[in-house]
Amino acid sequence: MEVYFSTVVRQGPIAQGGELVSIDWATKKIKRKTTLSPTDPLITEKDDANPRGNSRGGRGIVKINDTIYVATYHSLILFDLSLTPKGKISNNLFVGLHEIFHHDNVIWLTSTAIDCVIGIDTQGNSIKSWWARESPTLQKHFSLSPLKIDKTTDNRLLWLKVLPARQPSHTHLNAVAVHNNELYVLFNRFGAVYNTTTNRLVLEDPSIKGCHNLVFFEDKIIINDTQGKRVMVYTQNGTLIKALSLLDFPEINALYKLAIKSSKAKSSSFFRGIHFLSRFLNMEHEIKSPLFLRGLCPAGQSRILVGFSPATIAEIDIEKGRLLDLFQYSQDIAVCVHGLLACS
């Protein structure tokens, strides 16, 4: 099995703010890697002063035939299987891309900063879009107001300094999936899954606010409870089946404690000041956090891969609740896994 993953480097220079990496999972040998950065339009530290890494690194990944599509802040970068660049796709509504999903010749992208999902074909032509804050059902349920946006202008750099936590109606739509030909989205801010095809709220769990990833696997829905350091397993009707705490696995617990110890040893008054300021400004997440879950994909029958920081991937049997394997790419707490894809 070959595994592709993208990383984000918190507080790193934007030009070196993340990578796309492929490894042989059986041997854990790194096969290829390449740096990811947002260009054309170029984003600099002056454009994006968010210390958390707003526009840095790579995001979701899909493989279509012999091409890897990986999202950056405002573009899809295309690579061949040797990670040689093949091209780029971007448009005026690619604003803070997050997770992506491929189904029936459509690539679905979450444009997180502006709460929408965009469908394109593999050449980049726009097919359709869906806007969370324009849904009457969601407006009523979550007291949302429509987003004030000119959809015809180039929005890609206009939202860099907008703090989502200060926007009362921001849903932080960060994951998308198609299941049984119906389109589903995940709202990070509410811990909720919504079926956009049937206009139905499938799942709402306030305990997982700040969550990432939406995977329909066998007869289950799997979501990363990022803040709670748990993998949540639900029925397709939204009933919780189990919550797998990664801290219950001794190997991951030891890694977590080591990351905490290392982080404290390396911290300075400057970074502690930034940390305090982030809380003062009510940012949604800490700037750098160990065991920050973000990255999830199927890896075979009852097996999933879960990504977290410092950049590590765990293979877990969700039926038996067992840790099967572990690969650590970096010991730096600032380096986070984001996109994750397993190919047999």
Q: pTM of this prediction?
A: 0.92
Residue-level pLDDT at 165: 61
For 329, which DSSP code?
A: S
Q: Do residues 41 and 156 lie in contact, with contact meaning Cβ atoms separated by under 8 Å?
A: yes
- In this structure, the number of other CB atoms found within 10 A of the CB of residue 194 comes to 27
- Torsion, Cα 73 144 101 195, to 10 degrees, reads 180
- Starting at the edge strand found earlier in the chain, the sheet holding 230-235 runs 212-217, 220-225, 230-235, 240-245
Q: Which amino acid is at 320?
A: K
pLDDT at 311 over 60: yes
Distance CA 173, CA 132 (A): 8
Residue-level pLDDT at 52: 67
Residue-level pLDDT at 287: 62
**Which band of pLDDT confidence, cut at 50, 70 and 90, is reported for residue 262?**
confident
Averaged pLDDT for residues 144-168: 88
Query: What domains sit in the chain, N to C, each tagged with a CATH number?
Result: 2-343 (2.120.10.30)
- pLDDT cut 70: percent of the chain above it: 92
* Mean pLDDT, all residues of the chain: 91
pLDDT at 137 over 90: yes
Q: Do residues 231 and 304 lie in contact, with contact meaning Cβ atoms separated by under 8 Å?
A: yes
Distance CA 303, CA 147 (A): 39
